[in-house]
Amino acid sequence: MVSLAFSGAQIQCASVLLDQDVTDEKLAEAAMRRLKAANLPERHSLAFMFACVGRGRQHYQNKANLEADTFRKFFPAVPLFGFFGHGEIGCDRIVTGNFVLRECREAKDNLLHTYTTVVLLLHFGSAKGNQA
């Protein structure tokens, strides 16, 4: 297992899950809209995409790079890093109907997934605010 940790007063993040029921571009776009609704600025941001090896071209009726291309449509200026793996760790930390982020601290929020893609958007804040 590999872990990354980011810490800082200005760091903000949001994440979405694309589970086994997300099987076409329309549903992938719906997930990216939820992520976009977090209203994190693209400047000073980056994203991670961790997908199950069972997803990809074969999962999307022979369409390659559908999830990454869909991400790029909504976040054209955000660098995207990721890989395919066996088993995914993450949660939906999304904007709800009243535009308040729901944290994944409830018992029903399982962090371990299969046949899923986890997309995390990470914003580092403005360097201008850190100047003394």
Ordered by start, the domain boundaries in the chain are 12-122
Residue 45: partners with Cβ closer than 8 Å, 6 or more residues away: 75, 78, 121, 122, 123, 124
pTM above 0.85, yes or no: no
Around 20, how many Cα atoms within 13 Å sit in the side-chain half-sphere? 5
C-alpha 131/C-alpha 6 separation (Å) is 20
- Tell me: pLDDT of 4 over 90: no
The predicted-structure confidence for 68-115, as pLDDT tens digits, reads as follows: 999 999 999 999 999 999 988 887 775 444 545 555 565 556 777 888
What pLDDT was estimated at residue 89?
81
Quick one: tokens of 48?
């991670």
Q: What is the CATH number of domain 12-122?
A: 3.30.1330
Quick one: tokens of 6?
């980011």
- Other Cβ atoms within 10 Å of 69 Cβ, number: 12
Phi-psi map region of 7: left, alpha, beta (phi>0 left; psi -120 to 50 alpha): beta
The stretch 14-41 carries a mean pLDDT of 93
- Tell me: pLDDT of 43 over 70: yes
- State percent of the chain over pLDDT 90: 48
